[in-house]
Amino acid sequence: MALLPSSYSSCHHRASPFAPATPCSAQSRPRKGTLRLAAAGARSGPTAAPRRARPAAVERRRCECFDLHQQLVPYAEAYAWQKAIIKRRIGLLDRGEDHSDTLIALQHPPVYTLGSVSKEEYLHFKKEDAPFEVHKINRGGEVTYHGPGQLVMYPIINLKYHKEDVHWYFRSLEELIIRALKSAFSIKASRVEGLTGVWVGDQKVAALGIHGSRMIVYHGLALNVTTDLTPFQMIDPCGIKDRGVGSIKQILQEASHGTEIDDTLLMDMAYNSMIKEFAELFQLDLDTSLDCSFQEISKLHR
């Protein structure tokens, strides 16, 4: 039988289930008070590990969220609203004051928008004969279409409080869309190298366009949820001629062999998933209590 080292006390043995446990000798028992101190978390000697300080909770930056995702807001009014917010934000910066970020979610009546350097060759009509309103604005990118059934999100964010990198911001917007589509609809979306936006196969389901002033970015993204895709045939969306445009509803119907899907429910699902991923990705505390009509909100920002 192997001998135990002299320093190994018999009280370290596991007791046999068939025999009574052998008590430790008096010499091997801890001194009086030791167990009480250990239970209280006190150090019992020089080898005791120091207690770690509990990490402080990270406070998320506030973001006011204007939820109009089931409302049609005229493009010109939404654009003026964004610019009014930007003007006020810059005024606060000039005074050295902080401010919250903002997220506006809405839909637009049918409209075409062109970026500041867009080429009219991507329009398949003359501007004077346009089937819908046409607005040339200060965002980047080429022509795109907005209309009912498309979830448009305008984050107005100061990148100084996140990461001062516009390319990072673009990739982050794409990432939140990719995550939201997977989470809500089990749709596998991706990026295409050299192009902006989010794609499912060769179909573009979301377009991006931004503008910035003193690292405060605005405009944002447009996700085709239940959008009628016909108006896209009148343009080369984002200047791309060899790829198509898709929507969440179209993709789901093709996968389910034409099963009818409720448009309102689909838009709600898309919105809820998008704002959840938006808050997580940018580590924001969304204030969604700002529940009022566009007419009431727009008065506050003019």
Report the chain's C-alpha Rg in angstroms.
30
Give, in degrees to the nearest 5, the angle at Cα 193 between 188 and 196.
80
Catalytic (active site) residue 238? yes
**Number of residues that make up the chain:** 302
Biggest CA-to-CA distance, the chain: 103
Pairing of strands 150-158, 216-224: antiparallel
Buried b (16+ CB within 10 A) or exposed e, 208-227: bbbbbeebbbbbbbbbbbbb
Structure token pair of residue 16: 């046999």
Which of 146, 140, 284, 285 lies closest to 222, judged by CA?
146
Q: How far apart are alpha carbons 200 and 246 in whole angstroms?
A: 8
Torsion of CA 154, 159, 164, 168, to 10 degrees: -40
Catalytic option among 24, 63, 238, 292: 238
Q: Exposed, middle or buried by CB within 10 Å (0-12, 13-18, 19+), for 234?
A: middle
Q: Which amino acids are annotated catalytic? A: 238
